[in-house]
Amino acid sequence: MDHRPKIVVIGSLNMDLVVKAVRTPKRGETVMGEEIYFIPGGKGANQAVGLARLGAETTMIGAVGSDAFGEELKKALQKDGVNTSSVKMLDSAATGVASILLAEGDNSIVVIPGANARCFPEDLDQYEEIIAEADLVLLQLEIPLVTVEYAVELAQKHGKTVILNPAPAENLSEDLLSKVDYLTPNRSELALIARMSEESPIAKGMERLLDVGVSCCITTLGAEGAAFMEQGGSLVEVPGHKVSVVDTTGAGDAFNAGLAYALARKKSIQEAVEFAGQVSALAVTKFGAQGGMPTLAEVEAYFRRDEDEKDRNLKQ
């Protein structure tokens, strides 16, 4: 039996209130919605579920309110085998909520951080041993930036690989970027962090981030796939996969889970980005960010079938 990679996810837990409508309302307009769902979410929790389903030994560090949503979020993680003993429950703040509108094949999201805003650097001190025992630490930006910076320092102190998914985008210091092994922005996040226009070539933005010390930058490009650039290397493009899209909400989280899992299994960056693309493609074929996260067996079976079909088509 292969060693199960140990991965610590430090980040957000939200209850997603998902509203489906035929179209997005114009300013000041009311439209009738079709359905509403209450779905466990938050970038951190989504990525933790993605990792656990792929087979990683996953621990979540974060905060929820001691309310019904908080209980539900912890239970959802536990059901998928995520260790939640380091998720603190607060009486002083409500559980974070994301209001998601699904309309016209896309999503728009408003996030109320709640307890996520109270995930503080000092909370990480009591979990330092968990970080020290991990193979890899995965972070996003839905908790306070000071906590992210401290987590990266702790990970570096213990020689751990750090993946930072810089979402939602904000300006990051060169000091923080220089300590990140793998940075995974989408196109708009890349533009903001590299301080350039979205029209600029992505290679230019990635070079800027490598110049300040990021070891490897991986930019996700939606249906087009992803591209990556390592220190001293040139741009490598990894094409996307054609799938029937049901819900794109957790696509980026699935990508980061796949990437973290593959890198913790000591795969090459090329293999890891290819695998992350497969996990992400499969995730958008199902509804719900966490609900759509595939297992390793599902990824392998689906893409083996895909390869078999390509082989058959070539032979015809």
CATH assignment at residue 198? 3.40.1190.20
Residue, of 212 and 245, whose pLDDT is higher? 212
Domain of 68 in residue numbering reads as 6-24+32-310
Told to judge if 16 belongs to the known catalytic residues of this protein, a careful annotator would answer no
- Residue length of the chain: 316
Confidence of residue 65 (pLDDT cuts 50, 70, 90): very high
Domain-located, residue 248: yes
Domain-located, residue 1: no
> What average pLDDT does this structure show over 126-151?
97
pTM of the entire predicted model = 0.91
Q: What is the DSSP letter of 186?
A: B
Q: Is the pLDDT of residue 194 over 80?
A: yes
> What average pLDDT does this structure show over 258-278?
96
Domain-located, residue 287: yes
pLDDT above 90 coverage of the chain, percent: 81
**pLDDT (tens digit, 9 = 90+) per residue, 214-232?**
999 999 998 899 999 999 9
The number of distinct structural domains making up the chain is: 1
Domain-located, residue 166: yes
pLDDT above 70 coverage of the chain, percent: 96
Domain-located, residue 151: yes
Domain-located, residue 147: yes
Average pLDDT of the chain, as a whole number: 93
Domain-located, residue 249: yes
* Residue of 99, 18, 14, 1 lying closest to 49 (CA atoms): 14
Phi, psi values for residue 14, rounded to 5°: -130, 155
Q: Is the pLDDT of residue 130 over 50?
A: yes
Amino acid identity, residue 162? V
Res 312: pLDDT: 59
Interaxial angle between packed helices 269-283 and 43-54, expressed in degrees from 0 to 180 and rounded to the nearest 10: 110
> What average pLDDT does this structure show over 172-196?
95
Domain-located, residue 315: no
**What's CA 233's distance to the chain center, in Å?**
25
Q: Is the pLDDT of residue 80 over 90?
A: yes
Question: 253, 306, 308, 311: which is the annotated catalytic residue?
Answer: 253
